[in-house]
Every structure is written in C-alpha cells, then in structure tokens.
Structure 1
Amino acid sequence: MSITLTEKAAAHVNRNLEKRGKGCGLRLGVRTTGCSGLAYELEYVDEPTADDQVFESNGIKVFVDPKSLAYLDGTELDFVREGLNEGFKFQNPNVKDECGCGESFRV
C-alpha cells in the first residue's frame, strides 16, 4: 500500500504548513458525492487519529483513514499549474471513470 507526492506537491504542502505555523501533514480521503460517486478530500492535519494509516513521501506525512485507503492505494498526488489555474492533480490507478467536470470519480 502506498500514497506518494511528487516533489512539486510536497513543496506546495510544506509551504502551506509553514504559513499556517502548525500541522504535521496532509490528510487525503474520499467522500460520496458528485455525478460519478466519489470525490477527493484534502486537509491539513494538526492531530492524527488513532486509526490513520501514515505514509511519508518527499518529507511530507500523508494521513489516510482505513475506509478511504481502499480507493486511494497507489495514488500519486501532484501539484500543477495550467494557464491561470493551479491545484492538486490525482494520479489514481483505481479510477475507472470520471465525471466530465473532473470533480468526482468511480472505482
């Protein structure tokens, strides 16, 4: 089982953790929503929970709850700039289909 961050994603997370002045990593999860069924959730972690699975990639700890891990195993998180837009991009080998707007996916 693994979750990884590219160097660009790790640098972006690290900058934001420094700006916040607190936090020990990034939480990656999924929630039920959207036209395809699941959507990614990202948030900074101040206090991990007891059942979190913890992965470390490029110096950043990534926390994942056990239910989400089944959908996220093998995912690589990148940070990209496309024109005027920037944001995280998920390379998830489990995704079978995505909605047209790119906000949700199905496994």
Structure 2
Amino acid sequence: MTICLYFLASILATWRLAHLLSDEDGPLNIVFMLREKAGSGFWGSLISCFYCVSIWIAAPFGIWMGTTTIEKIVFWIAVSGGACILYKLTGENKKQVHIPYYEEEKARDEFGI
C-alpha cells in the first residue's frame, strides 16, 4: 500500500476507535463500564471527549507512518484532524438547539375573533 492508503486507513481506524471509546457502549457494555469507572474527573473527561481520545489514538499511527520526528508529529496531528472532520461530517456531535418561537397577539374585534 502507498502512504496515502495508510494515511486514509489510519484516519478511519482513529475515527472508529475514538467513536467507540467516547460515544458508544461497546460490546457487553464494556466501554460504558470503563467510562463509568473513569468517573467525571480528569480521566473521565478525557475518555468522554471525542477530540481528546482521537489525539491519543492517532499517536501510534503518526509514529508508524512518519520517518523523521517532524513527519511523525505532522502525521499524528493530521490523522487526528481527519478523524475530527469525519466526526463532524457524520453529525454525531450535533446537539439539538431549541429556539423559542413567539407570535405576536393579533388585535381582536368585539366578538373575540
């Protein structure tokens, strides 16, 4: 495979693993129990944030693909960035926003209509 295919496969693998750890319960609720055990402190906030998880999952891929230190760092950040773009494109992080709707009251005639 060429480096482009390795790069694309690394992005997809990073997205999949980061999504599993941050947003899914996993088989037999194993990942859910892991997040629950991590709690709401430092480790819990790291594992529940897709962007944080993608940084750490992308690191081995960047180290594997790069030959120099600069290449390893660039690939690391690029793979994480690609996974973050996929995360945004899949709409997993969209929160429903409720916009209040107000209607002006119309003037009524003497019959209340």
The structure whose residues are more often strand, as a share, is 1
Normalised by the length of structure 2, the TM-score is 0.26
The structure whose Rg is larger is 2
Relative contact order: is structure 1 or structure 2 higher (C-alpha 8 Å, sep ≥ 6)? 1
